[in-house]
Structure 1
Amino acid sequence: MSADVPTNHSEHFINGSIWFSSCTIEFDMNTRRIALFLLYLLIFMVGLMENLLVVWVNWRRRHAANGVLFCIINLSLSDLTIVAGLPFFILEMALDRVWLWGSFLCKVTNLIYLINFYSNSFFLAFMTLERYLSLVRPSSPALFPVLGHRRWLLCSGLWLLSLFLALLENVHMELLEWDEPGCFMVPQFSFSEWYVSVTFLSMIFQFAVPATIIISCNLLIARAVRTAPDVEGRREVWLVHVYSLVFMMCWLPYHLVTLLMVIEEISMPFLFDCNTMEFLYFSFSVVQCLSLFHCVANPILYNFLSKSFRNNVINTVVSCIPKESLQEIGGQVGSGAQPTFKGDPKNQRRLSNTSTSHSDVGS
């Protein structure tokens, strides 16, 4: 899912000669591989069920959805695509980086991961910005309006930008045949320049810019909700801070470790000793795995915590039940009572207008 990094930093080339350093620290690679296998498997199973449910429920009302929900549909599609491709990387890890599925899937699976690596942050940032603008400027046009083709054009633009950034890195993805076949990113020339360039691009576009938008807008949303006289509850005040915290917890460790590796790559003489680099290389796969927990956290934060979403789940399930079964259930409830899911159509439409707990803030 990323550029392969060396696992032994005991020797370097300096001015054409080899500089040796001894490592006094050792890590248990087998334990790490087992732990990462279990974590990836957990992310795959939970993330797949959560995002399938979110996409299924929200896609049925996409045409009447507000801008926030439209972003959430794309966010869920991005998360779903990532977790759907995890079995390839889980088996690759279990086989100690042996790739058995050929050169085509080597390139395609990594390209899909990279596209969603960027698009996930883009849609999350736009969703937060949309929510902020709809809260403080309700009369202004929405970024993703319900009517017209503007939201589809914006959506396509974000996906195309993600594709462009992904191709810059994926173009060097190759299947290398050594003792065992492996799927690696290996530029033929100027590895250091390429590695530093794509790393800083990902830091800027995938992390720095979205994090600035998400944190700033969430702080402003929390302040607006706290001072709003017509808001009864205050749960949303701390909840918007949780949105920012989860994003930072998922992505800050990954980009911090990557930044330290870039600093070591461009520093002459080498800034870090062998033990530090061994720790960075060991922790890189760990923080990369932890970053994917957003595929599990996003459906919970932006869907399952919302009462309106839970009602929409019930309504969607009920709409798939044959009418004969509904009449039978209604007869069992009693002639004077109606099942809770048979509400007034106007009330059901009102519930569907609010998409998630994120969009309910200050509404």
Structure 2
Amino acid sequence: MTADLYNITYDFNNTPWFVYECTINLDKDYKRIALFLLYLVLFMVGLLENSLVVWVNWRRRHSANGVLFCIINISLSDLMVVFTMPFFMLEVTMDKVWLWGRFLCKVTHLIYVINFYSSSFFLAFMTLERYLSVAQPSAPSCFPLERRRWFLCSGLWVFSLLLALVENVHVDLLEWSEPGCYMVPEHSHTEWFVSVSVLCLIFQFLGPASVIITCNVLIARAIGSSPDVENRRDRWLVHLYSFVFLACWFPYHLVMFLLMVDDLDPHLFSCNMVEVLYFSFSVVQCLSLFHCIANPILYNFLSKSFRNNFINAVVNCLPLPSAREPANTADGSGTTPGKERKLSDASTSQSDIGS
């Protein structure tokens, strides 16, 4: 939605300059089909994964583990944006026609932008917490006590909300030939778009990325000296965390930065370049949401401790065997079927590094 409205520069004949230079022809119908399918995959897989993560980890939310606390908030943030994806799917299919009124126009965009910031903030704090627990176990935790933990968590959510409101106050429903949900600043569009782009670049990408990459490099160094094969595997996994974050968000911010440059100097890029940028914006925006699928896999499903807790949660939900059945201890564990089979609950709910 950010890139839908932009300044048009005219020549002396009051004709857009790019009318004479545009030669590229991009197929927007194929793009709409591809985006619909991508959003459909994101919705179904993201809903299943993040629901499982919240269900399993919420049972241990009072744990002293700060990493676990961050993971719960990341999954809650991702779930929020996953619930808005059906609106994006239909908007893409109908070529930006919005049929659900002004209220949902503003609310869905607000939820998206809150997730835009909050998921990166909690990822950065989680990575910092992991670094402190692995590389400097004697250092104080970022989430030391439960009260302070909830206070810091609330602060991050409020800060994300304030950053989102800066952009969302200009989102409104426009009734043209067809209704559409757009950003319409009251004053100079160029100044507003540049300000929002710089704000997003610093707080959502550059700041969290610097923390995530730096801490992951330090964690990899801390565990790299170990001859253990599993630790060597975990070292590559740590670098994968940084790579996935960059893969999701770097293309989006690169396109946003180039659009900002084009807004400041409309004659700098060729017409074909501008067309490609605006064509690709909705694509990279959709691809950035793949963090809703990647985060549960990287920080939960690859973890042995999470899988153990998931099995334990499933076992606890199963009906107890009948009291008439004799106890069976053939597995040698000394446990009976009527007793709860408690699995590992001590390690972090992600990579087992530092557990």
Q: TM-score, normalised by structure 2?
A: 0.92
Residue 26 of structure 1: aligned partner? 25
What SS is found at the alignment partner of 2:187? coil
Distance 1:261 1:113 in 2: 20
Superposed displacement of residue 19, structure 1: 4.5
Residue 94 of structure 1: aligned partner? 93
Over aligned residues, Cα RMSD in angstroms? 2.5
Q: Give 1:171's aligned amino acid.
A: V
What SS is found at the alignment partner of 2:146? coil
User: Are residues 236 and 340 of structure 1, via their aligned partners in 2, closer, same or farther at CA, if it must alter by over 3 Å?
Assistant: farther
Residue 55 of structure 2: aligned partner? 56
Structure 1 residue 12 corresponds to structure 2 residue 9? yes
Partners of 1:305 and 1:356 within 8 A in 2: no
Q: Give 1:253's aligned amino acid.
A: P
Structure 1 residue 272 corresponds to structure 2 residue 269? yes
- Summarize the alignment of residues 146-161 of structure 1 with structure 2, pairs less than 5 Å apart: 147-161=145-159
Partners of 1:107 and 1:174 within 8 A in 2: yes
What SS is found at the alignment partner of 2:276? helix
Query: Percent identity of the aligned residues?
Result: 61
Distance 1:166 1:15 in 2: 39
Structure 1 residue 323 corresponds to structure 2 residue 324? no
Partners of 1:82 and 1:112 within 8 A in 2: yes
Q: Give 1:127's aligned amino acid.
A: M
Residue 348 of structure 2: aligned partner? 355
Residue 299 of structure 2: aligned partner? 302
Partners of 2:170 and 2:183 within 8 A in 1: yes
Superposed displacement of residue 266, structure 1: 0.5
Deviations 1:116-144 (A, max 9, x none): 11000000000000100111221222101
Distance 2:182 2:152 in 1: 33
Runs of 4+ in 1 over 6 A off after TM superposition: 327-330, 338-343
Superposed displacement of residue 79, structure 1: 0.8
Question: Aligned match of 1:336 in 330, 341, 354?
Answer: 330
Residue 110 of structure 1: aligned partner? 109
Q: TM-score, normalised by structure 1?
A: 0.90
Question: Aligned match of 1:196 in 194, 197, 204?
Answer: 194
Larger CA deviation: 132-141 vs 251-260 = 132-141
User: Are residues 263 and 195 of structure 1, via their aligned partners in 2, closer, same or farther at CA, if it must alter by over 3 Å?
Assistant: same
Residue 160 of structure 2: aligned partner? 162
Residue 260 of structure 2: aligned partner? 262
Distance 1:65 1:57 in 2: 16
Partners of 2:124 and 2:209 within 8 A in 1: yes
Q: Give 1:281's aligned amino acid.
A: Y
Distance 1:163 1:127 in 2: 20
Q: Return 5+ residue gaps in structure 1 as ranges.
A: none
Structure 1 residue 81 corresponds to structure 2 residue 80? yes
Partners of 1:231 and 1:362 within 8 A in 2: no
Q: Give 1:357's aligned amino acid.
A: Q
Q: Return 5+ residue gaps in structure 2 as ranges.
A: none
User: Are residues 164 and 27 of structure 1, via their aligned partners in 2, closer, same or farther at CA, if it must alter by over 3 Å?
Assistant: same
Superposed displacement of residue 348, structure 1: 3.8
Deviations 1:62-95 (A, max 9, x none): 0024000100000000111111111111111111
Question: Aligned match of 1:241 in 230, 235, 239?
Answer: 239
Superposed displacement of residue 321, structure 1: 1.7
User: Are residues 230 and 242 of structure 1, via their aligned partners in 2, closer, same or farther at CA, if it must alter by over 3 Å?
Assistant: closer
Distance 1:159 1:353 in 2: 27
Partners of 1:315 and 1:341 within 8 A in 2: no
What SS is found at the alignment partner of 1:312? helix
Superposed displacement of residue 357, structure 1: 3.5
